[in-house]
Amino acid sequence: MGESDMASLLAELDTGDMAGFTRSFADDLEAAMAAEVGIEADSDWSGVLCLGMGGSGAGGRFLKALADAEGGLPFVVWSDYGLPSWWGPDWLVLATSHSGNTEETLDGVRDALESGGTVVGVSSGGQLGEMLDGSD
């Protein structure tokens, strides 16, 4: 298959521009790391629990791989309802859902907020954005 055939196939099948998002990942990560999220960098977290399903959970798996390779805080990826039985509010929760409406992720965020946890959310809006905009 030639390069022009691949470009045509990509244009036909990648209607959500996932290839473009992948290409811009490094720039997006750099911008996100520079963004002010209202959490002190030296917070005394025991670890980071990443909530996300499918492609939305890929960022958490990537961060876990980085943390495993470089040391530092433990990162755990959770792709289920609720939170792990061992979780406590001393763990930062990073919740990702492209739509902002993934029920497993919302369930975990709700549990974390009700238990006094700190949650950082990444979404295009939806209920996740509303839930976190309304929290302290």
pLDDT (0 to 100) of residue 128? 94
In whole angstroms, give the CA distance from residue 61 to residue 80. 14
The CATH number for 81's domain is 3.40.50.10490
Q: Are residues 51 and 28 in the same domain?
A: no
Give the model's pLDDT for residue 136.
63
Structure tokens at 2: 């030639």
Which pLDDT score, from 0 to 100, does residue 41 have? 61
Which residues lie below 8 Å from residue 47, measured CB to CB, with a gap of 6+?
A: 73, 74, 75, 76, 91, 92
In this structure, are 81 and 29 located in the same domain? no
Residue 103's domain comprises 45-136
Is 40 a domain residue?
Answer: no
Confidence (pLDDT) at 39: 62
Give pLDDT tens digits along the chain (136 positions). 777 788 888 888 888 887 887 788 777 777 776 777 666 665 688 999 999 999 888 888 988 898 899 888 899 999 999 999 999 999 999 999 999 999 999 999 999 999 999 999 988 889 999 999 877 6
Q: Give domain status of residue 111, yes or no.
A: yes
